[in-house]
Each structure stands twice: as C-alpha cells, then as structure tokens.
Amino acid sequence: MRHRVIRSFVLASRPQGAPVPDNFRMVEAPLSELGGGQVLLQTLWLSLDPYMRGSMDPGPSYTPGIELGRPMPAELVSTVVETRHSDWQVGDVVVHDAGWQDYTITDGTGMRRLDARSAPVSTALGILGMPGMTAFVGLANIAEPKPGETLVVAAAAGPVGSTVGQIAKIKGCRVVGIAGGERKRQYLRDELGFDAALDHRDSGLAERLAEACPHGIDIYWENVGGRIFEVVLPLLNPFARVPVCGLVALYSDSNPTIGPATQSLMRAMLTKRLRIEGFIVDDHSEQAEAFRGEMSVWLRDGRVRYREDITDGFEHAPSRFIAMLRGETFGKTLVRL
C-alpha cells in the first residue's frame, strides 16, 4: 500500500549553546500524487554532519541558516519507489539533499545515481561523499603534503579527520591524530596506521603533542579550534599550512574565551610565513570526479578504510546528531531508515 505521509524533522527552536531534543520537532504532511516529471524517493540513509549546527543559528555560518519551522538540512541516500520521470526507474538509488525526511517528492534536480555494485551506497554520504571529498580537496589545494612532513589532524577519528590522516600517510607524511578517548586513539594507531594518537581531554596535551612531533608541525588540519589550536600554534614550523576546515568546538559556543590574541596570531603568521586558509568543499565541485576516481582505487586496494556509526530509526536523528557533536559517535554518523 502506498505510504500516506512524509515525516520530517524541523527546527522547533534555536539552541542556546549545545542543541537539545526540544530544538527539533517531527511533523507529518500528506503525501500528494506525483505530477508529470516527478519521482517519489524513500530514504534509506540520513547523514548527520557538524555543519547542521551552524544552520540552526540565524547568523552566517559556512552553510545558510534555516528559518524556524523549516526542515533540518541533510544529504540522503534514497531509492526511487514511484516515478513519472523518464530518466528515473523504480529501484534506482540516488544521493540528494532534501533534508531530514523519510520520503521526498522531487523533479530530480541535484540527484546523482549510485551504483550499489561498486560500493555500499551509504559510502556516498561518507568516505565517497562530502566528508571524504572535503579531506581530498583541502589536502590537494591547501595542505600539499610532502613525504617526510608532519601532519596533525584534530577530530581525527571522524569521517573528515580519518580520511585526512590516511591520505597523508599515502603521501608519505608522519601523521598525528587528536581525538576523544582511548577507543578512538587505539583505532587511529592500530587500524589506520597513524604514527601517534592523542586525547584532546588529556591535561598534558601540549607536552604529548611536542613529544609526538619532534620536528615540529608542517601541516595542521583544523577541524576543531579552541584549545587544540592553542597547543598547536607554538609547534608550527616556518611555511606550515593550516587548512581551516571546521571549528566544531566553537559551533555551540557563542562567547568563546579561549584563543590566541589576534596580534600574536598575526605575528606568528608573519614570522613563520604561515598559510592559514579556510575552505568550503562546495566550492570545489569540479574536483568531484577526480576525488571519486582516486578514492575508489584507494578503497579497493585497502589503502583507505572507513568506519560508520549506524542507528536504525528515523526518530533517533535528533539524539544521534546531539551525540555526534559531543564526540559520542564513532565514525561517520548515519541513521538507517
């Protein structure tokens, strides 16, 4: 029998600090008949990503803010269950960005077909999708890793950080990851082959980092901001590169108290000739094909590995999103419907 409603999660209220369950509300809307040129998609996988926290605020973030009552943004992997569009057949699996919802009616704009035989389709949201590509373009365009250099990456066990570290290993770097907790440290060292892995909650982080980077830091991949950048800055070598990818420690912090005074940061940038450059993956769509080609080969050859944190049930999306921001998920955070 045809499904009768579309369920979605909308922004019910704006978070004051870290998001809480009351910031989200599930709403139902009747599912209308398809018009000509439309398809009905059923969601299989919902991706939960840190940028969504920025979208919950009214002010500018690196993605647009959303209005109260509007659906939370997200990329989805879905399957076509009804079609009145000649390009799309029932059973096609696609990636698209309709937001937190279980069904979507669309004319197909912005949809990309996936080949389930070449890789598990969930990877289109992780290692072969936006997070993997973020790592790829930031390394290629800004970090430019060279053999023998030392790269440090924060939020290292997540989908962006773990990919950054593994590509840097392929490029011949010494790689030091910073993540929360012993399980994540072990994973980075024992399963991904990082040279060292540190815990950002360790009160002796500055000393541990200096020990792990005896020749200083040539590339610092910034995913977090705050205290980690504080301990990294003194260790940066002349001509170090700092791709500023994300600042997850600051997203829920409206009044940050940590941070080097602007003048001392500027002095370090000048005297060490640092390259500190922000970037947003969406600006680099022309590199998507090169990324998917190269990453597919690395995956096939076992040179890059990935990990997914999967929860079943659409209703769990808010709690898993909150858990992801707290570091309580491990790997690419996904909800399976």
Q: What is residue 303's three-state secondary structure?
A: coil
Residue whose token pair is 């602007």: 262
Binding of residue 92 to ligand NDP (CB under 6 A)? no
Q: Which is nearer to ligand NDP, 36 or 59 (CB)?
A: 59
Binding of residue 108 to ligand NDP (CB under 6 A)? no
Q: Which of 19, 50, 73, 145 binds ligand NDP (CB under 6 A)?
A: 50
Q: What is residue 138's three-state secondary structure?
A: helix
Q: Which is nearer to ligand NDP, 106 or 311 (CB)?
A: 311
CA pair distance 76, 133, nearest whole angstrom: 16
Residue whose token pair is 């982080």: 205
**298-315: b (≥16 Cβ within 10 Å) or e:** bbeeeebebbbbebeebe
Nearest Cα neighbor of 118 from 334, 296, 311, 310 is 296
Binding of residue 73 to ligand NDP (CB under 6 A)? no
- In whole angstroms, the minimum distance from the beta carbon of 145 to ligand NDP comes to 18
Residue whose token pair is 């011949």: 172
Quick one: which segment of 2-10, 90-98, 279-287, 292-300 binds ligand NDP (CB under 6 A)?
Answer: 279-287
| Two tokens, residue 205 | 């982080």
CA pair distance 97, 47, nearest whole angstrom: 10
Binding of residue 249 to ligand NDP (CB under 6 A)? yes
Binding of residue 192 to ligand NDP (CB under 6 A)? no
Contacts to ligand NDP from residues 285-324, by CB under 6 A: 324
Contacts to ligand NDP from residues 117-156, by CB under 6 A: 131, 134, 155
Q: Which is nearer to ligand NDP, 23 or 223 (CB)?
A: 223
- In whole angstroms, the minimum distance from the beta carbon of 55 to ligand NDP comes to 11
Give whole-number Cα distances, 248 to 80, 179, 223, 244, in Å: 34, 13, 6, 11
Binding of residue 74 to ligand NDP (CB under 6 A)? no
Task: Please report, as ranges, the residues that interact with ligand NDP according to CB under 6 A.
Answer: 49-51, 62, 131, 134, 155, 157-161, 179-181, 184, 200, 223-224, 226, 245-246, 248-249, 279-281, 324-325, 327, 333
